[in-house]
Chain A
Amino acid sequence: GAVVSQHPSWVICKSGTSVKIECRSLDFQATTMFWYRQFPKQSLMLMATSNEGSKATYEQGVEKDKFLINHASLTLSTLTVTSAHPEDSSFYICSASLGSGYGYTFGSGTRLTVV
């Protein structure tokens, strides 16, 4: 079955620094990946759709200059939180699909804490 690997599982960083989160499709190629953030006891909020070889499509209200998405290959998408602040602390999770007719598989998520 489709496996999505996300790294790191958790990260603590200082305010003002940048953090990169990786999302890999291990046994399949994914032209599209989705990035979400989730606050405690809330639902998953779609941040952006990552498209291989082209610019990501961001949801309304998500700052594209703050949350940089790069989908340089068919198996890797990265989310970089730039100039992180404490309010960026959250659970970030990615998903990918084998393609049309298949469901989406999620990575294990990254818990970001900005101090």
Chain B
Amino acid sequence: GIQVEQSPPDLILQEGANSTLRCNFSDSVNNLQWFHQNPWGQLINLFYIPSGTKQNGRLSATTVATERYSLLYISSSQTTDSGVYFCAGTNDMRFGAGTRLTVKP
């Protein structure tokens, strides 16, 4: 299966700061999704993004398929953004190890 590498593994921010999370793939993926897992375990779909850039409020994502990576941008972070962020290629839906984000008030 495709190997998924996420960085950084942990990130601590002060409320209001911006951040960039990265997802690298070992092989080409047809499509890619970013998820946020909240403290109750629910996985929330953030972006379904095969290529290009999408924005949704304070979040945006960019996928460069030819270079096998995707970036998730969080601007003006809030405490409710805390949790674990995962990416997965929809070829086989294998997940990276995730980035654990903690936003402090």
Contacts and interface: CB of A to CB of B under 8 A. Distances in A.
Interface of A: 34, 36, 38, 41-46, 91, 93, 95, 97, 102-106, 108-109, 111
Interface string B14-56: 0000000000000000010101000001110100100000000
B92 to A, nearest CB: 7
A74 to B, nearest CB: 19
Given A103-B31, A108-B41, A46 B93 contact: yes
Given A36-B95, A91-B41, A104-B93, 7 more contacts: A38-B41, A43-B96, A43-B97, A44-B86, A103-B90, A104-B33, A106-B35
How many interface residues does chain B have, given as a range? 20 to 34
A25 B31 CA distance: 21
Contacts of A97: 90
CB-CB nearest 9 A-B residue pairs: A103-B48, A106-B43, A44-B95, A109-B41, A43-B97, A103-B33, A43-B95, A34-B93, A43-B98
A45 B93 CA distance: 10
B41 A111 contact: yes
A36 B45 CA distance: 16
Contacts of B95: 36, 43-46
